[in-house]
């Protein structure tokens, strides 16, 4: 399933009268969907090259949505939070790049599978951390880090 819905609604400038609040729920759905696609690709990389191509196509189709989300985060919460989201976007891109390149043929299959599992888990953790940061910032605390 390729995501076709629009990205989260665009907020106005911080403090602007009548500006729509940042859509944390929409951003959360988008971010989790992106991570889910890439994790699926990592899980199926060894067995299903067609599934990997579908995952990469879905990822490639979302670059504009990522950039739009980063811009909305910058307008809503400032450059520090936007920079953190940009780093998550870059990491998602590196994961997609690793899927595209495939596994080094010199690696033992069991080791390659372990590497993909670790990468998928780290991708989930990074994605959940940025969601926590967005929720924290949306609650009015963009200038302080969320508690761990």
Q: What number of H helices and E strands is found in the chain?
A: 5, 0
Encoding tokens for residue 131?
């969601």
- Of 18-22, 98-102, 124-128, the range with the lowest mean pLDDT is 18-22
User: What is the model's pLDDT at position 147?
Assistant: 61
**At residue 68, what are phi and psi to the nearest 5 degrees?**
-65, -40
- pLDDT top residue among 19 and 70: 70
Calculate mean pLDDT across residues 57-61. Answer: 94
- Compute, in degrees rounded to 10, the torsion defined by CA atoms 98, 99, 101, 106: 80
Kindly state the percentage of the chain with pLDDT values over 90: 63
SS3 percent helix, strand, coil of the chain, rounded to 5, is 70, 0, 30
Which pLDDT does position 144 carry in this prediction?
66
From the list 74, 69, 75, 53, the residue with the least C-alpha distance to 2 is 53
* CA separation for the pair 78, 89 (Å, rounded): 17
Q: In the structure, what pLDDT confidence band is assigned to residue 90 with cuts at 50, 70 and 90?
A: very high
Q: Which is higher by pLDDT, 2 or 91?
A: 91
Total-model pTM:
0.80
Q: How confident is the model at residue 101 (pLDDT cuts 50, 70, 90)?
A: confident
């Amino acid at each position: 399933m390729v995501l076709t819905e629009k990205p989260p609604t665009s907020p106005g400038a911080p403090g602007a009268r009548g500006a729509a609040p940042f859509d944390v729920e929409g951003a959360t759905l988008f971010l989790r969907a992106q991570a889910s696609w890439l994790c699926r690709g990592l899980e199926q990389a060894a067995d299903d090259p067609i599934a990997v191509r579908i995952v990469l196509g879905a990822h490639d189709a979302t670059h504009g949505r990522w950039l739009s989300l980063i811009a909305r985060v910058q307008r809503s919460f400032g450059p520090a939070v936007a920079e953190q989201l940009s780093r998550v976007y870059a990491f998602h891109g590196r994961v997609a790049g690793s899927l595209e390149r495939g596994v080094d043929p010199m690696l033992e299959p069991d080791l390659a599978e372990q590497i993909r599992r670790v990468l998928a888990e780290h991708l989930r953790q990074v994605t959940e951390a940025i969601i926590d940061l967005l929720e924290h910032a949306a609650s009015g605390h963009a200038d302080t880090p969320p508690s761990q």
